[in-house]
């Protein structure tokens, strides 16, 4: 089982590495978009699946960073690396403000507050002179990496996006398995107890929120560079809804499941793009079906199946040794 998984992972990695060399088979720009959205979805999963906080305004961080990276590279003439840093930093700052306000309430109120504040960000970008309003900010230069590698080539850009996405996912993985992550789990599972143990709960929640916002910002900045475009759709609540759907499809209670959801949602939108309103209609129906009968999501279901199999295997082993109490304990997990 483990060995097959490892082989599959290596094969998948090799395939992804090969993508820019076969543009006739897969369109590399499409895969770059997939990377950006997968990173965005996992950054969101860090907050929702791991932290248990549902934000309904994550487009503000994604789109805000996209615009700010555009401003930095196009108007200020900063190099690409600094443009990415500016985008991420602005998203983190925005996360500090929005998160700081939103974590004063919980649950659905948190969702409503983030949605409202993200809508405010949308209106600000709609009116700001540099965003080009309905046309979006166009011709954002890709520039070059460290002044050496020209990013105008799709091949170089592809490997940059892939590397940074992997880096982002690795950071998320590290956060989840850090002592900080354990405290977050404690807060998620039983907040009053975490408070009574002396943890500064609000500060931990805010840190997770800012982390999630910053990584969402990285995804948005990369997207702006790939397409040379930051548009109002990047800050619109539709995108906030899309990332929720990605999380729901992939597994709301998992951290990396949303990446699977991202692949599905981006694929759906890519192939149905010409149909206009139908995409929204279909997205809505998928949403409702998932909420009603597929709440665990794809990865959540897979994990459950694997656990059930493991529990059954353990139970068989125990039955062999004749201990009934242990068997009960195992199967109740």
Residues that bind another protein (CB under 8 A): 54, 56, 101, 104-109, 111-113, 115-117, 119-120, 123-124, 126-127, 237, 241, 244, 248, 276-288, 290-292, 295
**Residue among 169 and 208 whose Cβ is closer to another protein:** 208
CA distance 106 to 108: 6
Quote the CA–CA distance of 240 and 209 in Å, as a whole number.
Answer: 15
Where do we find the tokens 């997968």? 38
Stretch (H or E) spanning 144: strand 144-145
Smallest distance, another protein to C-beta of residue 153, A: 38
Closest CB to another protein among residues 31, 248: 248
For the chain, the residue count is: 333
**Nearest residue (CB) to another protein, 120 versus 197:** 120
Q: In angstroms, what is the minimal distance from the CB of 40 to another protein?
A: 18
Q: How far is the CB of 125 from another protein (least distance, A)?
A: 11
Closest CB to another protein among residues 58, 142: 58
What pairs with residue 230 in β-bridges? 137
Structural contact between residues 243 and 259, judged by C-beta atoms closer than 8 angstroms: no
Smaller CB separation from another protein, 85 or 206: 206
C-beta atoms surrounding 328 within 10 Å: 11
Q: Which is nearer to another protein, 96 or 282 (CB)?
A: 282
What are the start-end ranges of the H helices in the chain?
2-18, 28-45, 59-70, 80-102, 107-127, 154-176, 179-189, 191-196, 201-227, 237-250, 257-271, 277-293, 297-321, 324-331
Largest CA distance in the chain: 75
Q: Is residue 265 within 8 Å of 246, Cβ to Cβ?
A: yes
Which CB atom, from 17 or from 281, has the smaller least distance to another protein? 281
245's tokens = 């759907």
Minimum CB separation of residue 280 from another protein in Å reads 3
Q: Which of 290, 293, 208 is nearest to 249 (CA)?
A: 290
Q: Which is nearer to another protein, 210 or 244 (CB)?
A: 244
CB of 213 to another protein, least distance (A): 16
| CB of residue 116 to another protein, shortest distance in Å | 4
Nearest distance from C-beta of residue 171 to another protein, angstroms: 26
Minimum distance from residue 41 beta carbon to another protein (Å): 15
Q: Which of 275, 265, 213 is nearest to 239 (CA)?
A: 265
> What are residue 58's DSSP bridge partners?
none
């Amino acid at each position: 089982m483990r060995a097959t998984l490892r082989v599959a992972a290596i094969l998948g990695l090799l395939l992804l590495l090969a993508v820019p060399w076969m543009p006739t088979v897969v369109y590399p720009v499409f895969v770059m978009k997939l990377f950006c959205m997968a990173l965005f979805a996992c950054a969101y999963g860090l907050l929702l699946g791991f932290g248990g906080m549902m934000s309904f305004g994550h487009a503000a961080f994604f789109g805000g960073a996209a615009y700010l990276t555009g401003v930095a590279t196009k108007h200020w003439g900063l190099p690409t690396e600094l443009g990415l840093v500016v985008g991420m930093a602005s998203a983190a700052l925005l996360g500090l403000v929005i998160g700081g306000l939103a974590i004063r309430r919980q649950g659905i109120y948190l969702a409503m507050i983030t949605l409202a504040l993200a809508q405010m960000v949308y209106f600000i970008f709609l009116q700001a002179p540099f965003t080009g309003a309905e046309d979006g900010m166009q011709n954002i230069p890709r520039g070059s990496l460290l002044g050496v590698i020209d990013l105008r080539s799709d091949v170089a850009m592809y490997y940059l996006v892939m590397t940074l996405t992997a880096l982002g996912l690795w950071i998320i993985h590290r956060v989840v398995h850090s002592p900080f992550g354990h405290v977050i789990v404690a807060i998620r599972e039983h907040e009053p107890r975490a408070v009574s143990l002396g943890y500064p709960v609000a500060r931990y929640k805010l840190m997770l929120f800012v982390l999630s916002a910053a990584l969402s910002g990285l995804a948005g900045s990369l997207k702006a560079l790939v397409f040379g475009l930051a548009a109002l759709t990047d800050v619109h609540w539709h995108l906030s809804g899309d990332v929720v759907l990605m999380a729901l499809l992939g597994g709301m209670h998992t951290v990396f499941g949303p990446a699977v959801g991202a692949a599905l949602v981006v694929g759906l939108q890519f192939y149905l793009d010409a149909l206009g309103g139908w995409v929204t209609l279909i997205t809505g129906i998928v949403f409702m079906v998932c909420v009603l009968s597929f709440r665990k999501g794809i990865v959540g279901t897979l994990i459950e199946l694997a656990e059930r199999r493991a529990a059954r295997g353990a139970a068989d082993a125990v039955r062999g040794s004749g201990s009934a109490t242990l068997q009960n304990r195992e199967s109740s997990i």
